[in-house]
């Protein structure tokens, strides 16, 4: 089994389901951004390996497993490049 469903905190105090498949790196989310296929903070939390939005602490093991798999995947370097590009753009705007 390569799919894990992790509960990620929502800003309203509830949570959203993020079903992450570490074989295909597809993540299904039931937040509004996820339903439109947009990137959002619930997905970002996996890319950043930031457990602060975990709704259930006992999911830390699965969360860490996903983050590690993601870190080794090509999609993560694309994400890192994008973040660096956005930072650069932001710097240029402030000049």
**Contact positions vs Zn ion (CB under 5 A):** 29, 31, 33-34, 40, 42
Helix (H) or strand (E) holding 15: strand 15-21
CB of 88 to Zn ion, least distance (A): 25
**Residue in the structure block whose two tokens are 């079903």:** 19
CB of 18 to Zn ion, least distance (A): 8
Closer residue to Zn ion in complex, CB, 46/69: 46
CB of 8 to Zn ion, least distance (A): 7
Closer residue to Zn ion in complex, CB, 75/88: 75
Tokens of 75: 């999609």
Distance of alpha carbon 41 from alpha carbon 78, whole angstroms: 17
Closer residue to Zn ion in complex, CB, 40/49: 40
Enumerate residues 6+ apart whose C-beta is below 8 A from 43: 18, 27, 29, 34
């Amino acid at each position: 089994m390569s799919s894990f469903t992790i509960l990620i905190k929502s800003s309203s105090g509830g949570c959203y389901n993020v079903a992450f498949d570490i074989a295909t790196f597809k993540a299904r989310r039931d937040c509004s951004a996820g339903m439109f296929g947009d990137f959002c903070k619930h997905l970002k939390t996996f890319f950043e390996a930031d457990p602060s939005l975990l709704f259930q602490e006992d999911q830390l093991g699965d969360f860490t497993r996903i983050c590690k798999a993601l870190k080794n995947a090509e999609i993560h370097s694309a994400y890192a490049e994008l973040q660096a590009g956005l930072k650069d753009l932001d710097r240029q705007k402030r000049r």
